[in-house]
Structure 1
Amino acid sequence: MINTTNPVTEVIEARFDAHTAEQVEQLLEGAANAQRQWAQTPLSARLPLLHRVAGVLRENKAAYARLITMEMGKPIVEAEGEIEKCAVTCEFYAENAPRFLSDMTVESNATESSVVFDPLGIVLAVMPWNYPFWQFVRFAAPALAAGNGALLKHANNVPQCALALQDAFVKAGAPEGLVTTLLVEASEVAGLIADRRVAAVTLTGSTAVGKIVAAQAGAVMKKQVLELGGSDPFIVLADADIEEAAKVATKARFTNTGQSCICAKRFLVEESVADRFVEALCAHASELKIGDPMQRDTSVGPMARGNLRDELHSQVQRTIAAGAKLLLGGAPVEGPGYFYPPTVMDHVTPDMAAAKEETFGPAAAVIRVKDADEAVRLANATEFGLGAALWTRDLERAKSLARRIEAGAVFINGLVASDARLPFGGIKQSGYGRELGEFGIREFTNIKTVWIGPTR
């Protein structure tokens, strides 16, 4: 049984029977048939589907957003923004896929050579709950444009979002089976990866799960794209605009109730401006309203599950016990719902839990550093390498420092965010491969060389 539990009330709102083995077999065969036909459809005929999907998403934005909020607790305004971002991304690939997938001519003597981009087939998408629409659409829009099919195994606490995603593509006119949701347990993923009809797998999730999926896919020699955990540094140098940095830091840490792999988690601040930054950060965080995520003025909703809140609270407690100073929050909110308040800890050191571990919730750890070199060293002193933010008025220096930071993306004087125009992904234990942009659409293609020799 797969359930929807409302994180505000802790009440089960819906129950679904998992697909049986027979149903999975039928769905896989239908997906394979749909993808074969889709791959033979000219690119120009595939792309209108993405424009129609964008329309369906916008037409149903209110309903889809409420579904997100009910299933995982995202504040409703943010949930609406998630749906709009999905629509924009569909339109981006509908308009730019011809350029990204066009044949490349290679100069050579007396031969005609080119590189073409063929679809791989069905791609299994193992997706998380924190951005239940966006995580799938950011993969599916380019993958479908390239001629692939999409098989969705979503997190089991968002089954209604999973079914709604399939329905959105069907409403837009996608061939039956091209986008298929499977309601199955995690234990069945290995069998899906090994299935002859599945060509590749993409996963967004924890590093631990990523290692399991990578091993399973590697055993059957199938392509993977893995977007895993993160412990993103937010570096504030002495010459930064401190007030603006603190304002953006509040959003960077507490958006989606802090439940994002690219939320800023470690705030590395030069000692000379640390007091000012901490004061401003606490002031902004104190203004955030925690409560019913269906209310439009709510800034921080509940965490998605009780065990996630328990883990975050353990990390906070261990960090404080080790000597950090608690300035804000620090304890679960009493009453029903998985609420945890915006929490700020100062004088955190690199050996403390909030600095060493990925904190997936509304808790900020401030680490004071003596200079930019120490900030970069500590930013890199983690197993993760997803994103990083760097705040300074000296842009030439910033560009130089950015090259030294070990991350898939460095945002200067801004917060780390995904953007359809830019490649997204990490290094080290944050995974490999890229989504979005020109690089993302080619991840699930066969980059094929076509060489033609001279005729006689």
Structure 2
Amino acid sequence: MNKYAVVNPATGETLSTYPTASDADIVAAVDAAAAAYRDWSRTTTPDDRSALITKVAELHRERRQHLAEIIVREMGKPIGDALGEVDFSADIYQYYADHGPELLEDEPIDLAEGSEGSAVIRKSPMGVLIGIMPWNFPYYQVARFAGPNLMLGNTILLKHAAQCPESAAAIHEIFADAGFPVGAYTNIYATNEQVADIIADPRVQGVSLTGSERAGAAVAEQAGRHLKKVVLELGGSDPFIVLSTDDLDATVQMAVDARLDNSGQSCNGAKRFIVVDDLYDAFLEKFTAAMAEVSPSDPMGEGSGPLGPLSSSTAAENLEDQVSRAVVGGATIATGGTREGTFFSPTVLTGVAPGNDAYYEEFFGPVAQVFRVADEDAAVELANDTPFGLGSYLFTTDEQQAARVADRIEAGMVYVNCVLADSAELPFGGIKRSGSGRELGTLGIDEFVNKKMIRIA
């Protein structure tokens, strides 16, 4: 059986398979990336690269229906969400095309008093990079890595998830059709062993991975052994803190939206709902009812809802096992908890306490945990009592409290009174076991860059 295959999670049908790269294919890909870095990146200006990336954005928009249908087949994303992902990816490329030349301008340094001459920081590319991308957002994850780094002049080898070979090929085709030279962006159907060899290659200067903690630890170890820069975006168990609200129904709807985004398979989706005591009973009642109203649907069907199948039978089985262990550990299922094939019902757990495995695990699917807390301090303590630190959500009508609590939350991102507010200009990333480094925004172009100081006397 081939490692790279499109298996429709809604039906279990294997639609296509793709051959894994040979060792000779990998050598040729690295050679081409190194040659493109030596030639193309050195002979083009930021404006030249901006024009190419603009074309990438345009091609995403032109091919949006085709691209969206691919990922419905690959990982079960509802078609409306799939179209939205393609649009967001196009926006990311356009952001770097529009702002890249400005972001790469020299930064003058004010010299110490009495010093003569000048000094600047010049941002230069580093070389060949390898990106290792996950299945849950097949286009968006690539865009936030490829957009800024191609704008810089780095060249990219892209190893996509094994269940996303068709979207991986479609992205490669877009870069070729946009006019990027051979080697600037190369899709590789590589094995883990081949990825390790690529990281070890002295011509490769960095690696970016979005995925599991286990994969992140393995890649970071390989990168560290060869002294390579690494950016990691890993898991999350983001808190959704409700301290006060002037519209509980709207807050509950945002809680549902934040938990069911991408069928619950989003690293920065809200997963732990922490509600102050005087709102807890009403919130739990309304939230449980709203979650129970949502049913999984055919992701390609007309009017398909927000919830499709999970990405694979393995993902569904693992989630079912997590919920079962949570109940054995003392949790109560307020609604849901059932699986039919790869379709998992929206689930609400209460009574999850320290000592229960579920208290510290990430649930990658439509499962929410709801907690009661006495006050602000207890909410912050519980929010931070996690090995993760990716995103967080805070709801309060008190502006001073919003600023105070946002400062105390241990996470890379805090969204106050809003959800699903990601945007190309907003940096994305976390701390603790959620990874290191940032993507998107002005910080995303500052990861794999040589900030060269030039001092002229």
Task: Place the TM-score, normalised by the shorter chain, in its bin.
Answer: over 0.9
Query: SS at 2:156's partner residue?
Result: strand
User: In the alignment, what sits opposite 1:27?
Assistant: 29
User: In the alignment, what sits opposite 1:430?
Assistant: 434
Query: 1:348: Cα distance to partner?
Result: 2.6
Maintained 8 Å contact 2:23/2:194: no
Q: Does 1:329 align with 2:340?
A: no
Query: 1:240: Cα distance to partner?
Result: 5.4
Q: Does 1:92 align with 2:98?
A: no
Selected match of 2:375 from 362, 371, 374: 371
Q: Which amino acid aligns with 1:309?
A: A
Mapped partners of 1:417, 1:430: distance in 2? 19
1:56-67 pair list within 5 angstroms: 56-67=59-70
**What are the Cα deviations for residues 21-60 of structure 1, in whole angstroms up to 9, with x where unaligned?**
1111112111211222232111111101111111100111
User: In the alignment, what sits opposite 1:402?
Assistant: 406
Query: SS at 1:359's partner residue?
Result: coil
Q: Does 1:260 align with 2:262?
A: no
Q: Does 1:314 align with 2:318?
A: no
Mapped partners of 2:199, 2:90: distance in 1? 29
Query: SS at 2:11's partner residue?
Result: coil
Query: 1:324: Cα distance to partner?
Result: 2.2
Maintained 8 Å contact 1:51/1:94: yes
Query: 1:188: Cα distance to partner?
Result: 2.1
Query: 1:416: Cα distance to partner?
Result: 5.4
Of 323-332 and 377-386, the range deviating more from structure 2: 323-332
1:21-170 pair list within 5 angstroms: 21-40=23-42, 41-108=44-111, 109-170=115-176
Query: 1:350: Cα distance to partner?
Result: 3.8
**What are the Cα deviations for residues 2-24 of structure 1, in whole angstroms up to 9, with x where unaligned?**
21111011111101111111111
Query: SS at 1:15's partner residue?
Result: strand
Query: 1:197: Cα distance to partner?
Result: 2.2
Of 308-317 and 113-122, the range deviating more from structure 2: 308-317
Q: Does 1:414 align with 2:414?
A: no
Maintained 8 Å contact 2:295/2:345: no
Q: Which amino acid aligns with 1:52?
A: K
User: In the alignment, what sits opposite 2:392?
Assistant: 388
Aligned residues: CA RMSD: 1.3
Mapped partners of 2:106, 2:138: distance in 1? 34
**What are the Cα deviations for residues 364-415 of structure 1, in whole angstroms up to 9, with x where unaligned?**
1101111111110011111100000001100211111110000000100112
Selected match of 2:361 from 333, 357, 363: 357
Stretches of structure 2 lacking an aligned partner (at least 5 in a row): none
Query: SS at 1:130's partner residue?
Result: coil
Query: SS at 1:409's partner residue?
Result: coil
Maintained 8 Å contact 1:262/1:417: no
Query: TM-score, normalized by length of structure 2?
Result: 0.96
Selected match of 1:301 from 303, 308, 317: 308
Maintained 8 Å contact 1:232/1:265: yes
Mapped partners of 1:32, 1:187: distance in 2? 20
Q: Which amino acid aligns with 2:140?
A: W
Maintained 8 Å contact 1:350/1:378: no
Query: 1:239: Cα distance to partner?
Result: 4.3
Query: 1:425: Cα distance to partner?
Result: 0.5
User: In the alignment, what sits opposite 2:5?
Assistant: 3
Stretches of structure 1 lacking an aligned partner (at least 5 in a row): none
Q: Does 1:237 align with 2:240?
A: no
Q: Which amino acid aligns with 2:55?
A: R
Mapped partners of 1:241, 1:372: distance in 2? 19
Selected match of 2:200 from 186, 194, 208: 194
Q: Which amino acid aligns with 2:299?
A: P
Query: 1:349: Cα distance to partner?
Result: 2.4
Mapped partners of 1:70, 1:358: distance in 2? 25
Maintained 8 Å contact 1:347/1:368: no
**What are the Cα deviations for residues 174-193 of structure 1, in whole angstroms up to 9, with x where unaligned?**
11221101001223221111
Query: SS at 2:343's partner residue?
Result: coil
Q: Which amino acid aligns with 2:41?
A: A
User: In the alignment, what sits opposite 2:181?
Assistant: 175
Query: 1:293: Cα distance to partner?
Result: 0.4
Query: TM-score, normalized by length of structure 1?
Result: 0.96
Mapped partners of 1:185, 1:221: distance in 2? 21
Query: 1:98: Cα distance to partner?
Result: 1.7
How many equivalent residue pairs?
450
Q: Does 1:343 align with 2:347?
A: yes
Query: SS at 2:10's partner residue?
Result: coil
Of 403-412 and 181-190, the range deviating more from structure 2: 181-190
Query: 1:417: Cα distance to partner?
Result: 4.6
Q: Which amino acid aligns with 1:6?
A: N
Query: 1:284: Cα distance to partner?
Result: 2.1
Regions of 4+ moved over 4 Å: none
